Chain A
């Protein structure tokens, strides 16, 4: 069993230290101090002495900010989602997502955890219990996967910088971008990190960087977008040879334990991707950056363009669905695929047919329905 020993801080925790990522209410308690000493990241952000003026824009209230209350404390802390003063969501002028195809007929809206991938239920032991697998084994695999996910997110996707500025969609801050060339840009030394973790960040009234800081934020999201496009079919290249082997091994073990759950899901995803009149969209309660990391690590990049990934952490699934409908239009048929709970409710609110995934057979049935062109 390969257990990476490079990051002792991860293994000393008795329980899942990332649990707070999954429940909205505890998000705010994630330790930011970790990121300062560079643990787990190959590029250390250099702290600078600058104390940029951070202004509060307390009066901005976007449609998506009328959020479930657990998220309120997140919004009040630190950097609020960028581009606040600018229009976000529906009708944004600067949405560079590609316009929907005119011959688009179906949009499949997928949940991620426990629908396409088995991850959370590995950590909690519920998968092992349900399918009679060895619980400690399942938990270990879950932990290793989790480590990989957040390692990738921290190392290559600026998660340290971005976790408190979580966006719903990769293009949500693009209006603050000036489009300059980033090939020689130094993210490590541009002062963003210092500004983001300075003490003044944690004022209850919320602080925000000026235009300069917003632009740096936008650069990061742009860079994430570029990385995704480069490595979406080759995450091994991004991980580097050592980690790549560990990753392949881990993937194989997870597939074995989960009886090829992901493989089955991928069959359906592939059919949909290959059709010119269908697209896959992902709506997950994981934050955007870790979600992107998951998509890369589970080789889902070819099924989901990054512009089709939405994080519902801040605004909930129902609002995400609304954004999706605004984007693709009402002449389309939407099909929601998930394991229940939020997505089922959100689907019924929008009168979208719902395909429940609660076991392998549901995935198989979905695949069949697609193969026979019933869906």
Chain B
């Protein structure tokens, strides 16, 4: 295949070809096309071209190259999701190779902590939740003052958070329900306290700020006194809007830690594992 054709293409056309081949999943052809491009700096800084190179590098298992591309150029937001996936998947694969066996949820969490997303492909916003941290903070703050906003107040909240009034309503409804459930659970736990059955109360990162799991990723060591801690947390967190103060539904509940499907990104937020997945339903 002669190199000649590429000289006949404008940058826009090159970008178009890159997009088409990527969307079509024709990565072999894409690789050939990229290889055939003239060594023009301007061309190779084009975002579509870079994205294509990243995809091809990933496809070929050339992860060094992939990381280099992802880290050395600022990408526009609409490309972030795809590129973040590449970054993460590549690191997971490498970690799995080291470990010699597939990665579980916690293993992946650790990988993400060790290799945080570069700001070239990430805007820094915590995205494990559906709503941005900023929005959630506003809602939490409000909740501590009044868990029952009026319709007008909900509208104002919606505006302040960039959410819809339905989302605001649902957030409050869920929050109140979880508070109630947690409260009930707490009462039940303190009754069962002397039974010594701590298995269901494991949720190690109660003290937040420390490392997530001390032991292997397959097991969670139960904290010393889960009930006290959880109580503490419940009470303590109420006055700290900055800290996630969701009720510990998952703590005493029927959900053992293994059921934590979410990927707790930040330490104090790992408490919200089970809540995270239900938050997903809120959309956005």
Contacts and interface: CB of A to CB of B under 8 A. Distances in A.
A369 B13 contact: yes
Contacts of B29: 373-374
A195 B21 CA distance: 52
B10 interface: yes
B10 A365 contact: yes
A246 interface: no
Chain A residues touching B, majority SS:
mixed
Contacts of A356: 12-13
B24 A355 contact: no
Given A365-B13, A374-B17, A374-B29, A333 B8 contact: no
A368 B16 contact: no
A13 interface: no
B13 A372 contact: no
A166 to B, nearest CB: 32
A200 to B, nearest CB: 46
B71 interface: no
A372 B1 contact: yes
A67 interface: no
B280 interface: no
Contacts of A372: 1, 5
Contacts of B24: 105-106, 333
Interface in A331-375: 333, 335, 353-356, 361-362, 364-366, 368-369, 372-375
Nearest to A337: B16
Nearest to B19: A353
Chain B residues touching A, majority SS:
helix
A368 B19 contact: no
Interface centre among B9, B16, B19, B20 (most CB of A within 10 A): B16
B197 interface: no
Contacts of A365: 8-10, 13
Interface residues of B, number: 16
Contacts of A369: 5, 9, 13, 17
B142 interface: no
B10 A374 contact: no
B10 A333 contact: no
B15 to A, nearest CB: 8
B23 interface: yes
A353 B21 CA distance: 10
B21 A374 contact: yes
Contacts of A368: 5, 8-9
Contacts of A333: 20, 23-24
Contacts of B33: 374
Contacts of B8: 361, 364-365, 368
A168 B281 CA distance: 38
Interface string B58-99: 000000000000000000000000000000000000000000
Interface in A213-247: none
A353 B23 CA distance: 9
A355 B13 contact: yes
A374 B5 contact: yes
A134 B104 CA distance: 72
A106 B21 CA distance: 10
A353 B1 contact: no
Contact of A335 (B1, B9, B12, B20): B20
A365 B24 CA distance: 20
Contacts of B12: 356
A288 B24 CA distance: 31
Interface string A97-135: 000000001100000000000000000000000000000
A351 B29 CA distance: 21
A353 B5 contact: no
A183 to B, nearest CB: 44
Contacts of B19: 353
A372 B20 CA distance: 14
Contacts of A374: 5, 17, 20-21, 29, 33
A371 to B, nearest CB: 8
Contacts of B21: 374
Nearest to A369: B17
Contacts of A105: 24
A354 B18 CA distance: 11
Contacts of B23: 333, 353
B16 A355 contact: yes
Contacts of B10: 362, 365
B21 to A, nearest CB: 7
Contact of B17 (A361, A362, A375): A375
Nearest to B21: A374
23 contacts: A105-B24, A333-B23, A333-B24, A353-B19, A354-B16, A355-B13, A355-B16, A361-B8, A362-B10, A365-B9, A365-B10, A365-B13, A368-B5, A368-B8, A372-B1, A372-B5, A373-B29, A374-B5, A374-B17, A374-B21, A374-B33, A375-B16, A375-B17
Interface of A: 105-106, 333, 335, 353-356, 361-362, 364-366, 368-369, 372-375
> Shortest 6 CB-CB distances between A and B: which pairs?
A353-B19, A333-B24, A333-B23, A353-B16, A374-B17, A353-B20
Given A353-B17, A353-B20, A365-B9, 10 more contacts: A106-B24, A353-B16, A355-B16, A356-B12, A362-B10, A366-B13, A369-B5, A369-B13, A369-B17, A374-B20
